[in-house]
A and B are shown apart, each in its own frame.
Chain A
């Protein structure tokens, strides 16, 4: 592994935050040479002890109050200490989860990293609401995330798991049937709202290369189905599902619990890199709707696009028009890397993945 490029940076940080740093580096009189040597020794020891630190430290989960976050927390808190970090409150929180209702952009968020031994950071807190203010989005998703990366680097968190999405590749007519991790991220080309996610993915990639001390994992799951409130689940929940006349692409899905499983595997010491995550074998959209027993109504693409654009502007529909491409072209991933390197296996077959969207639909609404 190449030498981390951040030595200068981290030394600056040591000066600034000298007295509270977890290494207790308070002696300002320490000569530069000595300190450099110390950092080097620190690195050697770190390589050996990183595994222990990943396993023993607490896991900070951002966006823990989302549906996926809560599911992850429920599984994770049985095995290890979980710290939640979210702007939203966490109702019905398990007792042993420590939750902080703060904005990740606030300075206070750093205290979480400063005050205890953090073994890993799982970043689920990507904001996806396409109705929201795009400037606010951008600031939250990128400025906020950059702050988090800074904390990870400064407090030497040994593990970082970022939940990106296969949407970063984008549905395109010239896509290979199954995209590998090295495919270009062209998702924002036709659908600019996804720009934040692509940039966040890129930011994480550059962090991966610059800071070898942290094991960085990027997960790019395909359409997640379940109780989550994301576009594919919402789309399949419609009573009458609109489709495009003459288009019926193969669609890949993954159950939310399989994504939780993948995140847990990514938290294992030694796992690093980018992994696509998919569930059962893909099927045509029409077959999926038949299995769900949904009525479907097909519209020509030009008409659908025009109508959806109007409806979006009038706040009648919650789907922006460029999302139509997801039911027009393929955007599927090859997850063989996750299966061979990480030992990932999906456990929900197509039926249970599809029917997961209706679970908890009428009973309760949490």
Chain B
């Protein structure tokens, strides 16, 4: 009885806005909900046909893993991640037809995946994540550190946090490593991703932050080389002044965007090489040592890139 009384009071206190929202919730949302459910079912079926029964199993394994851990404090939503994983996995299997080598080198605990960065848009990160999801046993979720300005953008910030990507501050990285997570780092940063076509497969300067973190936390570094991303968009130069004006990290000139259909990346074949784990020790405040060891990782990745390029027959096949 008490509750009934409360409800009447609550209804009387409703504002016009509340009533409008209620109409929306009662009449429009079920309609939209049906459409969403239908779309989800269709997507599930498509995933089953293109990616095999494996996809759903891997999803369940990932979900169970995070449930055992008592959820994720960074805002990861495994249900949402499933659909993002679907999109990336389709691109991984069908568009880029990715070949993955040495994925058994990735240990089961916390580790840093350190990779070259290329391709104008960070699709290489998505493909590495898709490899860890589709090809690793058991499936792993890759957590990347994203730029701070991404947090200020509506929906984009949401997309990142729901898929388990976190703001790039050292404390977050430490916390994730303590939780045995796999962290993807691109030490070249924007310098690597937006370099012109003429500099393809030449590693840019490595920031030393990843090495400091690995030494401090005592976690292994897995060098990763991605071959095939450099040719997906052909960059003829960067407009630095325009990038500065817009506050963006870079503004590449991509002529192919003007051709109809050229907005999609070229369907190059991706080869992703996971190297053997590298362990480092020492004082993380010793700048010289940090630089030296970061250089070792860089050389290792450069060698892996060279080998990958030599064994590649064709850019597209």
Contact = CB atoms under 8 A, between A and B. Distances in A.
Interface class of chain A by DSSP? loop
B151 A329 contact: yes
B74 interface: yes
Interface stretch (A38-46, A204-212, A239-247): A239-247
A177 B70 contact: no
A360 interface: no
B285 interface: no
Contact of B73 (A174, A175, A250, A296): A250
Interface class of chain B by DSSP? helix
B10 A239 contact: yes
B166 A173 contact: no
Contacts of A282: 73
Nearest to B167: A174
Nearest to A248: B158
A324 to B, nearest CB: 12
Interface in B125-155: 148-149, 151-155
Nearest to A240: B18
A176 interface: yes
Given A173-B148, A295-B25, A247 B158 contact: yes
Nearest to B21: A295
A244 B171 contact: no
Contacts of B77: 284
21 contacts: A173-B148, A174-B151, A174-B167, A177-B166, A177-B172, A178-B171, A178-B175, A240-B14, A240-B15, A244-B154, A245-B154, A245-B155, A248-B158, A250-B74, A281-B70, A281-B71, A284-B75, A295-B18, A300-B154, A301-B154, A362-B9
B151 A173 contact: yes
Contacts of B155: 245-246
B13 interface: yes
Given A175-B167, A178-B175, A239-B10, A296 B157 contact: no
B21 A297 contact: yes
B149 A173 contact: yes
Contacts of B166: 177
B17 interface: yes
Interface size for chain B: under 10, 10 to 19, 20 to 34, or 35 or more residues? 35 or more
Contacts of B6: 362
Contacts of A339: none
Interface string B55-69: 000000000000000
B115 to A, nearest CB: 23
A281 B77 CA distance: 15
Interface string B2-13: 000110011001
Contacts of B74: 177, 250
Interface of A: 173-178, 180, 239-240, 244-250, 281-282, 284, 295-297, 300-301, 329, 362
B87 interface: no
B171 A180 contact: yes
Give the one of A176, A178, A297 with max B CB within 10 A: A176
Interface of B: 5-6, 9-10, 13-15, 17-18, 21-22, 25, 70-71, 73-75, 77, 148-149, 151-158, 161, 166-167, 169, 171-172, 175
Contact of A176 (B18, B75, B149, B167): B167
A362 B166 CA distance: 41
A23 to B, nearest CB: 47
Top 10 A-B residue pairs of the complex, sorted by shortest distance between their CB atoms: A246-B154, A173-B151, A176-B171, A246-B155, A240-B18, A174-B148, A295-B21, A239-B18, A250-B75, A176-B169
A174 B158 CA distance: 15
Contacts of B172: 176-177
A117 B66 CA distance: 53
B42 to A, nearest CB: 25
A281 B73 contact: yes
A244 B153 CA distance: 11
Contact of A239 (B14, B73, B148, B161): B14
Nearest to B14: A239
Contact of A174 (B5, B21, B153, B169): B169
Nearest to B169: A176
B171 A173 contact: no
Given A240-B17, A296-B21, 20 more contacts: A173-B149, A173-B152, A173-B167, A176-B167, A177-B175, A239-B13, A239-B14, A240-B14, A240-B15, A240-B18, A240-B21, A246-B157, A246-B158, A248-B75, A248-B158, A250-B73, A281-B70, A284-B77, A295-B25, A362-B6
A114 B171 CA distance: 47
A345 to B, nearest CB: 16
A248 B15 CA distance: 24
A305 to B, nearest CB: 13
Nearest to B77: A284
Contacts of A296: 21
Nearest to A250: B75
A295 B10 CA distance: 12
Contacts of B21: 240, 295-297
A174 B148 CA distance: 5
Nearest to B148: A174
Nearest to A287: B77
A175 B161 CA distance: 13
Contacts of A329: 151
B17 A297 contact: yes
A295 B16 CA distance: 12
B149 to A, nearest CB: 7
B68 to A, nearest CB: 15
A247 B75 contact: no
